[in-house]
A and B are shown apart, each in its own frame.
Chain A
Amino acid sequence: MLGDRDILIDRYKQFLTAYLSGRTEQALYRAQQFSRKMLEQNISPEEVINMHSTVLQTINGGIPEEIRDSFDFLIEVMMGYGMAYREHQILRDKQKALESEIEVAASMQQTLLQGDIPVTDKLDIGVISKAAKQMSGDYFHFVQNRPESINVAVADIIGKGVPAALCMSMIKYAMDSLPEQENHPSMVLENLNRVVEQNVDPAMFITMFYGNYNTDIHRFHYAGAGHEPGFYYDAKNDNFEEFMAKGLVLGVSKTTQYQAFDKDIEEGDMILLLSDGVTECRTSKGFISREEIVTLIRSYMHLNAQEIVENVYSDLEQLQDFELRDDFTLIILRRSV
């Protein structure tokens, strides 16, 4: 019985003699197919040359000694290529394994992040959050601990990808383990700051905005830890202004205190919270200015909050040629009645 190698050599001989007798395109095409088959079977370049030399010695009365020896020389030369090829194969397998691990982690992160967006007839809420890579370093969270009390958190972890995502999981658990009565914005930030300061790399930090909306009296109580300023839309004067709460980023100093602010929200007013992925949008013409973002929001203001955030995102995505450079989060709270 013929071994695999003998079968291959036999085939190679058929194809080669066919080519040498007619020099046809069809014979060349067979060579291409054969090459694919050899790749599948992990046959190295030097083995192919060896096969060529073996076959040449059996047809048309063999080849001169000099040429035969020159093939041995060529085999030596090709060994390096063969090794590089095998290494490449191993790396490709490893990469596939890593990719599938990251996919699992990303879907775990999605599950972790899933949370209900509160539904109330007093507040129209829109949320969009997209990762630049598979995993996101942006975090947002809504908690409705009493019917009239809606808490919202937005955080941006420095960097992107897996390290940022790991850090984000930590924030999520720290937030979940805060006692319910302690959702006062300053206290939340001070608690988280201690957790972050103790647990992350010195060059890592997190920015966060935390607010509590009381739908009975329409007052927004909020505090910030170095988070990218959002916007406030004043419906009565049809005016957008910067909305921010000053404070040091989380993770720099253990003893940082955070000041909380109050704002009374009028009918039709909007609070817009975002991550710096929104303002750091880079296009071929440079950065998108905050004014341009306001113009975008304005053009969709007649829609509901969810439609606004989705439209703004898709426009900004288009401006960046559909390639997000940073994680992107945009949240709108609009007082309905």
Chain B
Amino acid sequence: MNLQIQKETEGNTDKLLINGEVDAYTAPKLKDTLISLTEQKGREVVVDLSGVQYMDSTGLGVFVGALKSSQQHGSSLKLTGMTERVHRLFDITGLTDVMNIEAHTKGEVR
């Protein structure tokens, strides 16, 4: 199981394109990349999750950690392009209410 992370930087915004599975094995890699960005004051971090078919609770934990880091360091974090399966996880855990998550790719209304 693999995880590819691609970074595109435009001005103050870093966009991360993630492909693969975010689980206990791949989470540390994502965490390192993501936290190093959210720790920069004023940075806008956008994570595109449309290439992620599976995420487990450890993966979810990476985003919880990134959310706290962005609040602490004054950066912003936005998640986009979640598949239905991944969105369900954020929904059940109540994270959709506290995180900036852009509407579903498939236009699903929740």
A residues at B contact (CB < 8 Å)? 156, 158-160, 201-205, 207, 225-229, 244, 246-249, 251-253, 276, 280
A249 to chain B, nearest CB (A): 5
A160 to chain B, nearest CB (A): 8
**Alpha-carbon distance between A65 and B68 when the two chains are bound, in angstroms:** 73
Give the interface residue-count category, chain B.
Answer: 10 to 19
Q: Which A residues are in CB contact (< 8 Å) with B97?
A: 248
Residue from B56, B57, B92, B95 whose CB has the most chain A CB atoms within 10 Å? B57
B56 to chain A, nearest CB (A): 7
Instruction: Let me know if B93 and A203 touch, CB within 8 A.
Output: no
**Alpha-carbon distance between A276 and B98 when the two chains are bound, in angstroms:** 22
* B26 contacts A by Cβ under 8 Å: no
**Alpha-carbon distance between A228 and B93 when the two chains are bound, in angstroms:** 8
Instruction: Let me know if A207 and B64 touch, CB within 8 A.
Output: no
29 contacts between A and B (CB under 8 A): A156-B57, A158-B58, A158-B60, A158-B61, A159-B24, A159-B57, A159-B58, A202-B64, A202-B69, A203-B31, A203-B61, A203-B62, A203-B65, A205-B60, A205-B93, A207-B57, A226-B93, A226-B95, A228-B92, A229-B92, A244-B92, A247-B94, A248-B93, A249-B95, A252-B64, A252-B67, A252-B98, A253-B98, A280-B56
0/1 interface trace, chain B 59-77, chain A, CB 8 Å (1 if under): 0111011011100000000
Q: Which A residues are in CB contact (< 8 Å) with B61?
A: 158-159, 203-205
**Alpha-carbon distance between A158 and B59 when the two chains are bound, in angstroms:** 9
Instruction: Let me know if A225 and B58 touch, CB within 8 A.
Output: no
Chain A residue at minimal CB-CB distance from B24: A159
**Alpha-carbon distance between A226 and B31 when the two chains are bound, in angstroms:** 22
**Alpha-carbon distance between A248 and B24 when the two chains are bound, in angstroms:** 22
Instruction: Let me know if A246 and B94 touch, CB within 8 A.
Output: yes
Q: Which A residues are in CB contact (< 8 Å) with B57?
A: 156, 158-159, 207, 276
B23 to chain A, nearest CB (A): 10
Q: Which A residues are in CB contact (< 8 Å) with B67?
A: 252
A226 to chain B, nearest CB (A): 4
**Alpha-carbon distance between A276 and B61 when the two chains are bound, in angstroms:** 15
Instruction: Let me know if A205 and B94 touch, CB within 8 A.
Output: no
Contact of B64 (CB < 8 Å), options: A160, A203, A227: A203
Chain A residue at minimal CB-CB distance from B94: A248
B residues at A contact (CB < 8 Å)? 24, 31, 56-58, 60-62, 64-65, 67-69, 92-95, 97-98
Residue from A202, A229, A248 whose CB has the most chain B CB atoms within 10 Å? A202
**Alpha-carbon distance between A307 and B67 when the two chains are bound, in angstroms:** 43
**Alpha-carbon distance between A203 and B62 when the two chains are bound, in angstroms:** 6
Q: Which B residues are in CB contact (< 8 Å) with A248?
A: 93-95, 97-98
Known contacts A156-B57, A159-B24: A202-B95 contact under CB 8 Å: no
A102 to chain B, nearest CB (A): 18
Known contacts A248-B95, A252-B95, A253-B98: A205-B56 contact under CB 8 Å: no
Q: Which B residues are in CB contact (< 8 Å) with A276?
A: 57
**Alpha-carbon distance between A229 and B61 when the two chains are bound, in angstroms:** 19
B37 to chain A, nearest CB (A): 15
Residue from B65, B68, B94, B98 whose CB has the most chain A CB atoms within 10 Å? B94
Instruction: Let me know if B94 and A249 touch, CB within 8 A.
Output: yes
Given contacts A205-B60, A227-B92, 16 further A-B contacts (CB under 8 A): A158-B60, A159-B61, A160-B24, A202-B68, A205-B61, A207-B93, A225-B94, A226-B93, A228-B92, A244-B92, A248-B97, A252-B64, A252-B67, A252-B68, A252-B95, A276-B57
**Alpha-carbon distance between A252 and B60 when the two chains are bound, in angstroms:** 12
**Alpha-carbon distance between A251 and B98 when the two chains are bound, in angstroms:** 13
Q: Which B residues are in CB contact (< 8 Å) with A227?
A: 92
Q: Which B residues are in CB contact (< 8 Å) with A247?
A: 94
Listed from nearest, the 4 A-B pairs whose CB atoms lie closest are A203-B65, A248-B94, A226-B93, A203-B61
Q: Which A residues are in CB contact (< 8 Å) with B92?
A: 226-229, 244
A111 to chain B, nearest CB (A): 26
Known contacts A228-B92, A247-B94: A202-B65 contact under CB 8 Å: yes
**Alpha-carbon distance between A278 and B93 when the two chains are bound, in angstroms:** 16
